[in-house]
Structure 1
Amino acid sequence: MNKMTGRRAFAGWSILLCISVGWHSRVSAQKLVEVSGQAQGTYFIVKYVSNDTTSLRPQIDSLFGVIDHSLSLYKPGSLINQFNEGNEVQMDEHMAYVIKRSLEISKSTNGAFDITVKPLVDAWGFGVHKPAAQHVPGPDTLKRILRYVGSKYLQVHGQTLVKRKKDVQIDCNGIAQGYTTDVIARFLQQKGITDYLVDVGGELAGSGKNHRGKIWTVGIETPAAIESPYPAQALLELNNKAITTSGNYRRFFEQGGTRFTHSINPSTGQALHSNIIAVTVMAKDAVTADGYDNALILMGVEKGLDFIRKHPEYGLDAYFIYKNKKGEITTAFSAGYSKIVLTR
């Protein structure tokens, strides 16, 4: 389930490339401002259109720092580490919101997304402290860990998060990076900026148009396994939407001829070794897309697309890249993607 643990605080990798192309051209007197750098173990790029070119870098850096103090497993003394090392923690607004959304998504996916997966992530060698060599954990180890994996072992009392079993530990990396993207987007909105594209390690949120008057467009990267002259598998418009990706072709290890990836099933404790290469999810905000992309990759192509059809209330669309029964790399996507995917 977890797609980010072991790389950084919530360092995201994604198969999304930022591309400033699109439709609806018009001339704009406003300027394109770009703020970029490194944070949370990954890159970030914030682009926005404004007459005011005053740098927002100090405030954006401050936002990253505040969220790190709340949710970073890599930051000693962070709220999430306090919880994992103890029995409860007083949450700040950031942690409280991420926990709330995590529990909601866990319930709606019957546990396919579950932040109590941390001990399993560690056991498979994808955690903060990486072993010299990864290997498949023994069945007894997984059975023992599964005794304290499950959202039912978390309780929220006001602003206090409490664990019902002492060995419960949480890892919010599968959703916190999307949340960070949303926080920066809201910050821009509070500054009166309505035309922007926020990219935190590949988790994106876009609104309005760029300085050329064109809707922000992003590309779904062509995985290295696919022989193609195009860097993008598909292009799509991103206006008042967010998009995130969970993939299995960059973080994995092989044992006995089987490739085990960092996507871990919270119910069985098993690392995913399926035919799915990646799933890109679009939603109204990045925290929603980020949480559900983990669950959808575990569901698989057919069940994932069926889940989206049956639950329009979640506002999800998904684009799967996978290997069919013949071993050929192909794609499948929900109905909403067919309306927004652009030709190259």
Structure 2
Amino acid sequence: MKRLFLLATLLWSANTRAQDAPALKLVACEGKAQGTYYIVKYLSTDTTSLQPRIDSLFGVIDQSLSLYKPGSLINQFNATGKVTMDEHMKAVIQKALTTNKATNGLFDITVKPLVYLWGFGVNKPSFKGVPPPDSIKAALAYIGSRYLRVKGEELSTTKKGVQIDCNGIAQGYTVDVVGHFLQQLGINNYLVDVGGELCAKGHNHQHKVWSVGIERPSPGDTAYEPVQGLVRLPDKGIATSGNYRRFFDQGRTRFAHTIHPLTGVALHNNIISVTLIAKDCFTADAFDNPLILMGVEKGLAYIAQHPEHGLEAIYIYKDADGGIKEAFSKGFKAYMEF
């Protein structure tokens, strides 16, 4: 009888606390940043907009890593070959260097000269199309993370003319920074989306794990639409690399903005996109470009052989007949909602 009374008392206390607790409400902020859009959704008892503080956070990161921002730390490095890094630049550089080693050079932030040569940089080239072989060869002489040195807070290069472009990883880093900012405010249920790179924690206003769609090209390759089903993100990050947003066509070949740092050639295989799920968006964003360069078979084999990275992937690609196909890593389907 005492046990029943104690159980009833505990249930009553729990229900009383639940009723007394302020209700969580869905709050959304959205705007423009890093050359794209951002959307932040979260649950909170305080509906005061966090957008000014989020915009300020984007501004701080841009001052560190944006090639479009005059005087940014990355532009200072590219102009002089040396810079004193802030916490944001240091985190991105360290991640970039470890990813470079983990992918045997397939991820390399010193790819900037090639990005500009192929016409995907801030300044457009005077011509459009595939660069001459001798121009690619000349640019390759300045490509290689082996030329970068980190000593404390200082980043320097051992070869004059080496420049960096962190666009292949900075967006994923920014997503996680915004997520950490929310957590510091006691917000534990959120979804952060910056240009299609996302991280999620907790649940949405329907008390379900946050879900997102995956973009898939329509038959004409001029637009994109969600794959049937959604991807659940239980405290994970997700990033996509593809050939259908920034590209040019020459003849029957499509050249995308992802540049192979070892050959100097822009992506032109049969892969339309690869979407990665990882422990955080920073990691997913770091590996999506190398995995699209590897191709479907080698990419899926790499994921299986390197469980330490915690990656799961879906490839969307064209088969020999031009049909759109999908290939999954072993654990990816566990995140799918069909």
TM-score (norm 1): 0.89
Equivalent position to 1:263, from 258, 261, 264: 258
Bigger radius of gyration among the two: 2
Question: For each residue in 1:109-163, what CA deviation from the matched residue of structure 2 results, as whole angstroms up to 9, or x when unmatched?
Answer: 0011100000000000111012364221111111111111011010101110011
Residue ranges of structure 1 left out of the alignment (5+ in a row):
1-27
Aligned residues: 316
Letter in 2 for 1:264: I
Q: Say which SS state the counterpart of residue 181 (structure 2) adopts.
A: helix
Aligned to 1:94: 88
Residue ranges of structure 2 left out of the alignment (5+ in a row):
1-21
User: Residue 226 of structure 1: CA displacement?
Assistant: 6.8
Aligned to 1:170: 164
1:189-338 equivalence runs, <5 A: 189-225=183-219, 231-338=226-333
Question: For each residue in 1:70-99, what CA deviation from the matched residue of structure 2 results, as whole angstroms up to 9, or x when unmatched?
Answer: 000000000000000102000000000000
Inter-partner Cα distance in structure 2 for 1:198 and 1:243: 10
Q: Say which SS state the counterpart of residue 140 (structure 1) adopts.
A: helix
Please say which of residues 46-55 and 218-227 is displaced more in the overlay.
218-227
Judged with a 3 Å threshold, the aligned counterparts in structure 2 of structure 1 residues 233 and 84 are, in CA distance, closer, same or farther, namely farther
Letter in 2 for 1:244: A
Aligned to 2:65: 71
Question: For each residue in 1:223-259, what CA deviation from the matched residue of structure 2 results, as whole angstroms up to 9, or x when unmatched?
Answer: 1237999743441111110001000012211223322
Q: Aligned pair 1:160/2:154, yes or no? A: yes
Aligned to 1:14: none
Q: Aligned pair 1:40/2:34, yes or no? A: yes
Letter in 2 for 1:55: S
Inter-partner Cα distance in structure 2 for 1:233 and 1:223: 12
Judged with a 3 Å threshold, the aligned counterparts in structure 2 of structure 1 residues 147 and 119 are, in CA distance, closer, same or farther, namely same
Q: Is the 8 A contact 1:222 1:233 kept in 2?
A: no
Q: Say which SS state the counterpart of residue 271 (structure 1) adopts.
A: coil
Structure (1/2) with the larger helix percentage: 2
Identity %: 62
Q: Is the 8 A contact 1:324 1:330 kept in 2?
A: yes
Q: Is the 8 A contact 1:221 1:233 kept in 2?
A: no
1:39-188 equivalence runs, <5 A: 39-131=33-125, 133-188=127-182
Q: Say which SS state the counterpart of residue 331 (structure 2) adopts.
A: helix
Inter-partner Cα distance in structure 2 for 1:229 and 1:65: 30
Q: Is the 8 A contact 1:218 1:236 kept in 2?
A: yes
User: Residue 326 of structure 1: CA displacement?
Assistant: 2.3
Inter-partner Cα distance in structure 1 for 2:266 and 2:228: 26
User: Residue 42 of structure 1: CA displacement?
Assistant: 1.1
Letter in 1 for 2:110: T
Q: Is the 8 A contact 1:113 1:291 kept in 2?
A: yes
Inter-partner Cα distance in structure 2 for 1:136 and 1:230: 29
> Larger relative CO (CA 8 A, sep 6+): 1 or 2?
1
Question: For each residue in 1:28-87, what CA deviation from the matched residue of structure 2 results, as whole angstroms up to 9, or x when unmatched?
Answer: 931000111111221111000011112111111111000000000000000000000102
Q: Say which SS state the counterpart of residue 34 (structure 1) adopts.
A: strand
Please say which of residues 332-341 and 95-104 is displaced more in the overlay.
332-341
Inter-partner Cα distance in structure 2 for 1:333 and 1:31: 36
Aligned to 2:336: 341
TM-score (norm 2): 0.90
Question: For each residue in 1:180-204, what CA deviation from the matched residue of structure 2 results, as whole angstroms up to 9, or x when unmatched?
Answer: 0000000001001110000011110
User: Residue 105 of structure 1: CA displacement?
Assistant: 0.4
Letter in 2 for 1:170: I
Q: Say which SS state the counterpart of residue 335 (structure 1) adopts.
A: coil
Inter-partner Cα distance in structure 1 for 2:128 and 2:260: 17
